[in-house]
Every structure is written in C-alpha cells, then in structure tokens.
Amino acid sequence: MLSHFLSEPAPPRRVVVLGSRGFVGSKLLDVLKARGWASRAVPRQEIDLCEPGAAERLRSLLEPEDAVVVAAALTPDKGRDVATLMKNLRMAESLAQVLAETPCAHLVYISSDAVYDGREPLISDETPPSPTDLYSLMHVARERMLGHAAQAKNTPFCVLRPVAIFGAGDTHNSYGPNRFMRTALKERRIQLFGGGEEIRDHVYVADVVAMIGSVLERRSTGVLNLASGRAVSFHDLAELVGRLIGSGVTIEALPRSGKVTHRHFDTTALARSLPQTKQTPLEDALRQSLEELQASSGR
C-alpha cells in the first residue's frame, strides 16, 4: 500500500531514469517526454553503476529536487550466478553512496514479483518476500539497501514490484506474451511447456509506466505490487496471440521440466493506492503490442 506525500498531483522538477535504455526505462522516458516533464536519461553506456568511480559521476549530475527512478538491473537472461548477483548489488551500493551525500526529492525502485516464493498461489501486498534464488535475493537486498540510504536522509522511497511485463520493445524475450508474439510473427508457431496449464498474471508495459508516472506525481512512498489481477493460462494466452495474428500459427508442446504451479495476485491495494489508473484489457494490449512489433519489423 502506498502513502502519497502530495494531495494534488504535480510533476517532479526533473526525473532521472537509471537504466534508461532498458524495457521499462525507455518506455518511461517516452511517456515523460509526451507529458512535457523534464527528464534526464542515464544509460549504462554513460554511467556503469558496477564500475569504480560510478558514484562520483552520478553525484555530479544529480540535483536535490530530482526524482530518481531505478530501472537498472541485470536480469536473469544475463546470468543467475553469484557474479551477476554481486554486479547488481554493486549498482545499489554506488547509488546508496550517492544518496548518503546528495539526497534527492524522491526515489522509486523498480523491483520484481520474483521476491515472492513462486509456489505461493495467491499473493497480495501483505505477502512477505521469500526469495528462492539469487535473482530474487538480489531484489530483496537492493530494496533494503536503497531503503536504508533513503531513510537516513528522509528521502521519500517507493518500491514497485511488477509481475511479468509484456509489450513491444521487451529486451528479454521471456516465456509468455513477449516470446509468443515474436515467434508467432517470425516462425508462425508458439511453443508451450507441457500443455501451458500454468496460470499467471502479466501486465502491459504501457500500464506499468503510467503507474510509475502516478507515483512520481504524488511523490508516493511504500511498497506496491503492479499486476493486472487477470491471471490466464499460457495456453489461453498462446491461443489469443494466434487468433490476433490470424491463420497459420501453430501451437507446439515442449517437454515440461518442472511441476505445474499457478499464481494469482490480489490487486486490492493497487486499486486503493492508484484508483485513477485504468489498465488496458489483455486483448487490446496484445493487439497494440503486435501492431508495434509488426511496424518495427517493416511487415
């Protein structure tokens, strides 16, 4: 659940986006530009938070009235080992060093629903984190590290934990809508593990960045899960993608490597915290994503 520092929405003086070339960061910058908000993109190519001296370079560009959005992380496709964990923690360490000397007006950390035990069938904002691998442990640790730094300087701090995000521009090609859309367009097939029985929640990237915008303009604090509340099976999702593309898309079964698990999210806290946000219906979100993918590929 979130608390809002501002009773009436007002844009921050400037939004600094760390991880500005990633999936969420780049989409957020597009929205900020469309709204006419001042922003500052900080890609890894400019400041690599893993490298020595990163804190000094970041400190030189931050201003006291900045809202900082942390969307920079090495995701599981980059590695699930200890070395990747430590790189992610060094990013948070660099930022914590900066915040200790140059506090900002608002800090927003984009975490993940991976912090919860994947075997938990129903998750709400009251569910305690229970990391089961190094990636989920990383997000829990970074939440605590940044929270500690923010608290020391009375900086408003917000943690957002989105479920699997989909949409055109995804950089991870993770199993689910993103991979289904790409393979259906390119190979005219969708591959499912087993029968695709698992039920999951997925959230549209445009809705995620809209919710981040709402948090920024209210200077919100607290922890909030970002989910649609409309869990569907991978099989139904694959069929919907195939139907939107048209005839000729086949669905293939691959051997299953693990047990079937289902996962639902209670979005009561989301509705109470951000009542002004309206999420895009799943079919509309997939259709818009497919149109963007087709346009980008020149089809």
Which CATH number characterizes residue 111's domain? Answer: 3.40.50.720
133 and 250 co-located in one domain? no
- Exposure of 174 by Cβ count < 10 A (0-12 exposed, 13-18 middle, 19+ buried)? middle
CATH of the domain at 175: 3.90.25.10
Whats the size of the chain, residue-wise? 299
| pLDDT of 299 higher than 60 | no
The CA distance from 293 to 176, in Å, is 15
**In the predicted structure, residue 217 carries a pLDDT above the cut 80:** yes
Q: Do the domain assignments include residue 272?
A: no
Looking at the fold, whether 60 and 79 belong to one and the same domain comes out as: yes
Quick one: 115 and 245 in the same domain? no
- 84 and 134 housed in the same domain: yes
Look at residue 152 and tell me if it is in a domain.
Answer: yes
User: Is 234 part of a structural domain of the chain?
Assistant: yes
Same domain, 45 and 178: no
Our measurement of the distance from residue 232's CA atom to the centroid of its chain's CA atoms, rounded to an integer in Å, reads: 19
pLDDT score of 294: 86
Q: What is the mean pLDDT of residues 10-15?
A: 97
In the chain, how many domains are there?
A: 2
Q: Are 123 and 243 contained in the same domain?
A: no
Q: How far apart are CA 220 and CA 3, in angstroms?
A: 6
pLDDT for the residue 162:
97
Task: State whether 134 and 189 are in the same domain.
Answer: no
pLDDT digits (tens, 9 = 90+) for 122-175: 999 999 999 999 999 999 999 999 999 999 999 999 999 999 999 998 877 888
> Is the domain of 234 the same as that of 221?
no
Residue at 161 is within a domain: yes
Residue 277: predicted pLDDT:
84
Same domain as 70, residue 45: yes
In 3D space, the residue among 74, 217, 66, 76 whose CA is nearest the CA of residue 133 turns out to be 76
Do the domain assignments include residue 297?
no
pLDDT value, residue 171: 76
Residue range(s) defining the domain that contains residue 126 = 2-165+204-226
Domain assignment of residue 141, yes or no: yes
* CA angle centred on 25, ends 111 and 70, rounded to 5°: 45
Query: Do residue 177 and residue 221 come from a single domain?
Result: no
Quick: pLDDT tens for 231-255.
999 999 999 999 999 878 999 999 9
Do 117 and 141 fall within a single domain?
yes
- Do residue 7 and residue 135 come from a single domain? yes
Q: How far is CA 71 from each of CA 53, 209, 244, rounded to the nearest angstrom? A: 20, 11, 31
Kindly state whether residue 274 falls inside one of the protein's structural domains: no
Element (H, E) at 178: helix 177-187
Phi (first) and psi of residue 276, to 5 degrees: -80, -15
